[in-house]
Amino acid sequence: GIFCGGKSEVLGEGETGLRAGECGKEIERRKIKNDLDRMFIEVVKSFSSALDARDHYTVDHSKRISDSCRLIAERLYVKDGEKENIVLGALLHDIGKIGISDGILGKPTALTPEEFDRVKQHPLISEEILKPIAALKGCLKIIRHHHERYDGRGYPDGLMGRRIPLGARILAVCDSYDAMISERPYRGAMSARKAVAELKKNSGTQFDPRIAGIMIRLVEKGIFR
């Protein structure tokens, strides 16, 4: 008998060599595809790092929040496959900002409604950029929905509560906390104490209260500054 592509068949001697050759080619095609997917992921990670480095306000932002997402996912006992999707989604979540001008992203004053509408497109742009890479399929909803709010007043789809993917809820907390404690063009960095106060204030409205609670405990234990 011979096994290939999920099926097992009993073949005559004349067919065995032919089918074995076909299986070998299929295995080689899959290997090439997996290698290409990994290569594309590394290229996209590099683009994401370059995007973070466009100005000193966001250097290493994606790496920091991917680390914090991993810690929170571990405390929620998320399965390894989903956890890796969350971590990878965190690394790539802002790749869509490559389609938004530096003038908007680095503006030192309040954005106009039109400018904010443009910024709100970046989760959708990120999704479109990454969609062709099959290995990133598990990250797409996390990236698309990381600006949703627990109370349903976020974007792009206005999802509420547990309708928001778990990874996106984790990413929302980690992304917001890192943004708060980092300097921005329009404000200075918050202290960890003030950022924790904001997490508490917005728990159950902007943030999933369980996830916000985990982040607060991690900060209070000194695991995050």
The residues, ordered by sequence, that sit 6+ positions from 180 with a Cβ below 8 Å of its Cβ are: 189, 190, 194, 195, 198
Q: Angle of helix 61-75 relative to helix 80-92, nearest 10 degrees? A: 160
Query: Is 97 known to be catalytic?
Result: yes
Catalytic residue among 97, 120, 141, 200: 97
Q: List, in sequence order, the alpha helices (H) in the chain.
A: 13-52, 61-75, 80-92, 102-105, 113-119, 122-130, 140-144, 166-180, 192-202, 209-220
Six-digit token string for 45: 């990670």
Beta-bridged to residue 9, according to DSSP, are 2
The residues, ordered by sequence, that sit 6+ positions from 62 with a Cβ below 8 Å of its Cβ are: 48, 49, 52, 90, 91, 92, 93, 94
Q: Which residues are catalytic?
A: 97
